[in-house]
Amino acid sequence: MIISPEKNNKMLKELPLPDNGKSGWPWTEEFKFPFKHGERKYPRITIVTPSFNQGKFIEQTIRSVLLQNYPDLEYIIIDGGSTDETVEIIKKYDRWISYWVSEKDKGQSDAINKGVGRGTGEIFNWINSDDYYSKDTFQKISETFIKSEADIIVGNYRYFEDENENKSKDSGKTIDFRLRETLEETIAFVLLNQPSSFFKLNLIKELGGLNVDLNFVMDQDIWKKYLFRYEQKNVNILDSLFTNFRLHSDSKTFMNEFNNEYMNIYYSIAVQTDMKKQANFLKNIYGNGFRENYKFNFELNRESIELSRKVINSLIYYKARIAFTEGDFIFFKKCIEVIDPLYLNTAQRSYLKRIRIKSFLIEMKLDLLLNLWTSVTSKKVKNYNGSADIELEKSKKSN
C-alpha cells in the first residue's frame, strides 16, 4: 500500500468507525506522517501479523499499523483458521491490507514464515494480534534505516496488564534494550525485544526464517543466529517506545515452557560443539521442556566453535552469579563444577574466584574472616559489580 501525497494523513477518515465508544490512539487518532514531497522513495516496511482467535484484540493491532500513515507499507495478516470474530474484523479492513489468509497452519512460526515468504519490503517486523504499535514508530524506524547502516533497529516496548490498560495513563512497564561489551556476553545474556525489533527483510530470509520447532522463543533463536553470523556492530538501539505488549490470561508469555525452551537453544549449541559437561548440566536442569526435534542451525567452523564455548561458559557463569546472590549455594556449586575458566574473560574469572572464596566462608560460618576479606576486596570489585548487577536484575526478571 503506497500512500500518495494527495492522500497522506487521511487514513482515519477512510477506516471504519470504532465500536463501543473507543477513543484515543489508534481509535480516533492517527499519526501525521511528515511526508516530504521532494522525497520520491521511502523504504518499504513489511509488517506481518500472525493471528489465531484474538478477535477481541486484533482490530487495535490493525489500526495501529494502518494509522501510522506510512508512505510505503506492506501489511500481511496470516490467520490460523480462527473460529471467533477475527476473520470478520480482518474483512472490515480488507482494502487496506496487502494480503491476508485464514487457514490452518503449523503454529505461529509457520504463519510468520508464510508472511516473510510473501514480503517484498526492505524493513520487516511482526506484531502479534494482541499487541499494538505506538504512534510514530514507522517514522522513527524509516528515518533511522535511511541515515544508518543498521541491519536491525531495536527500541523499547511497554508491557501492560490488559485489565489495567484504561485505568491509568501510565499503566505498564517499559523495557529497554542493551547490548553487552562482548559478543559472547550479548549472545549469552541479552534477549531480543522482538515486538520492537525491525530487521532488514533480506537478512531474515538469508537466515532461513523462523524455526517451526519452537513455540515460544523463535525470535530469540533467529536473533542468536544473526549474532553468530553478523556479530553486533550493525545493531542500532533507539531509546523510543515502539510497541505495547499485552499481558492477558491467554498470553503464551505466562507459560513455564518459555525458559526451558530458551535454554534448549544453548543446549543445542553445547551439543553441536562437543561441550559434554555443559550440555548435560543444561539438560539436567532445564531438559523437561526441551524439544526433541529442535536444532540451533549455524555454521560450525573454528571461529563459531570458539565463540560457542565462550557463550556457554559465560551463560553458566552468569547462572552461578545469580545463585550466589540468592544464597543458593547448592546450585552455585553445580555451576562452577562445569564452568571452564579458559573460556571466561578476565573480569569473569576474577569475579568467579572472589565469590567462590566468599561462598566457602559463608558456608563455614567464618564471619570474622568473611568481614575482613570483604572489606579488603570490596573496593577492587566495586566498578565491576556496578555494571554487572544491572544485568543481574534484568536476568532475574526474565527468568
249-280 tens-digit pLDDT: 555 445 567 888 999 999 999 999 999 999 99
Residue 371 confidence (pLDDT) above 70: no
Q: Residue 383: pLDDT band by 50, 70, 90 thresholds?
A: very low
CA atoms of 375 and 28, how far apart (whole Å)? 60
Cell matching residue 5: 501525497
Picking from 157-166, 209-218, 250-259, 335-344, which range would have the lowest pLDDT averaged per residue? 250-259
Least confident range from 52-56, 219-223, 283-287, 381-385: namely 381-385
d(CA 72, CA 49): 17
pLDDT at 147 over 80: yes
- Structure confidence at residue 381 (pLDDT): 44
pTM of the model: 0.87
Backbone angles phi, psi at 170, to 5 degrees: -105, 25
CB 210 within 8 A of CB 218: yes
Give pLDDT, residue 322.
Answer: 93
- pLDDT for residue 396: 41
Task: Dump pLDDT digits (tens) for 313-330.
Answer: 999 999 999 998 898 989
Instruction: Find the range with the poorest average confidence among 167-171, 225-229, 261-265.
Output: 167-171
- In angstroms, the Cα distances linking 161 to 92, 165, 276, 288 are 27, 6, 41, 29
Distance CA 315, CA 270 (A): 11
Cell numbers at 214, concatenated? 519452537
Higher pLDDT, 371 or 157: 157
pLDDT band at 359 (very low <50, low <70, confident <90, very high): confident
The structural domains of the chain, with segments of one domain joined by +, span: 5-254, 257-398
392: its cell numbers: 543481574
**Is there a contact between 175 and 156 (Cβ–Cβ < 8 Å)?**
yes
Asked whether residue 394 carries a pLDDT value surpassing 50, the answer given is no
Nearest to 184 by CA among 295, 322, 316: 316
Query: What's the mean pLDDT in 304-314?
Result: 97
The pLDDT tens digits for 27-45 are: 999 999 987 755 558 999 9
Band (7; pLDDT cuts 50, 70, 90): low
Residue 391 pLDDT greater than 70, yes or no: no
| CA proximity to 175, closest of 232, 255, 253 | 253
Please determine, looking at this structure, whether the domain spanning 5-254 carries the CATH number 3.30.830.10.
no
Q: Is the pLDDT of residue 166 over 70?
A: no
- 342-358, pLDDT tens digit by residue? 999 999 998 898 888 77
Compute the mean pLDDT over every residue in the chain, rounded to the nearest whole number: 86
Residue 88 has pLDDT above 90, yes or no: yes
pLDDT in tens, 98-142: 999 999 999 999 999 999 999 999 999 999 999 999 999 999 999
SS (H, E, C) 140-193: HHHHHHHHCCCCEEEEEEEEEEHHHCCCCCCCCEEECCCCCCCHHHHHHHCCCC
Residue 170: pLDDT above 60?
A: no
Rounded-to-integer distance, Cα 287 and Cα 63, Å: 41
Q: What is the pLDDT of residue 379?
A: 47
- The pLDDT of residue 165: 53
- pLDDT confidence of residue 15: 96
